[in-house]
Amino acid sequence: MPRIPIDDVIPALVAIADEVILPRFRALQTGEVEEKSPGEVVTIADREAEVRIAEVMRALLPDAVVIGEEAVADDPALLDVLESDATCWLVDPLDGTQNFVNGSPDFAVMVALVAAGEAVASWMWRPVERIAYVAERGAGAYRDGERQHVSVLADVPALADLSGVVDVPGAVLSRFLTADQRAKLAEIAPSFGGIGSGSKCSGVDYPLIVDGFQRFVRYERLSPWDHAPGTLYLEEAGGCVRRWDGSAYAPGRPGIGLLAASDAATWTLVRDALRPALG
């Protein structure tokens, strides 16, 4: 197990966000936004912040490999390191880039430390709201230094079928679903009293489960920098995160389908209810 610089990461993320990201918020210039893949954008803030964060992470743990979202876009082979026993930094310099471009404050700067394929610590910084989320495996989840536990607002209802409305508020990110899956999901949604589409930022959605504002979020794509920080935070707060097939989540395991929930009972309830749409 590497030494975990638990108190050193958030100050670095705050400084970099203040210098590189926030000055461009609602002030992006022509040529500072590019489409890096169909429907997915990257900005000058993403690129510059990743370079700066990587420098700091290397200084904190010189033997650790830094795997950043934008670096992987240029060299996908970097992800192979996650399947080894190496110690790695996962860096998402600007989670919720489209929100950032649109002028929404729902974006975050996120880092996770991975050892032997398992996230052992994570840090999420919300630059506009000035909120810090920190988690360490076996040591708990913290919001601005205060220990957090999942807020469960009501008992999980029994669900024999989909004939009645189940008050389990949550979200399903549908961007990577097929047209048939979206249609089936629309049929099921009324049974939940509606299903949201999420904030489009993992650094927002995972804490919302801990705070009790939603009970679940279902993701299709498993980019490790999107989920390693938030899954650890939720699990350390008492929540439940599993792959769609019920197996444990690990950043280095490829595949699709991830369900995060406030507790194991809610996880099972939601997975079973959504299966007709999502398989």
* Nearest C-alpha neighbor of 249 from the set 272, 273, 224: 224
pLDDT at residue number 166: 58
pTM: 0.93
CA-CA distance, 213 to 166, in Å (whole number)?
A: 16
What pLDDT sits at residue 158? 44
Instruction: Domain 170-278: give its CATH code.
Output: 3.40.190.80
The residue type found at 5 is P
Q: What is the pLDDT of residue 160?
A: 38
Q: Could you report how far apart the first and last alpha carbons of the chain are, in Å?
A: 37
Q: Decide if domain 9-148 falls under CATH 3.30.540.10.
A: yes
Residue 10: the pLDDT is 98
Q: What are phi and psi of 43, to 5 degrees?
A: -120, 170
Enumerate residue ranges in the chain where pLDDT < 70: 152-167, 193
pLDDT at residue 39, as a whole number: 82
Helix (H, G, I), strand (E, B) or coil at 239: coil
Distances (CA, A) of 255 to 145, 219, 243, 247: 34, 11, 9, 11
* Calpha distance 98→45 (Å, rounded): 12
pLDDT at 156: 47
Spatial contact of 277 and 185, defined as CB atoms under 8 Å apart: yes
The pLDDT of residue 83 is: 87
Is residue 79 within 8 A of residue 224, CB to CB? The reply is yes
Where in the chain are the domains? 9-148, 170-278
Which two three-digit tokens encode residue 152?
A: 């469960």
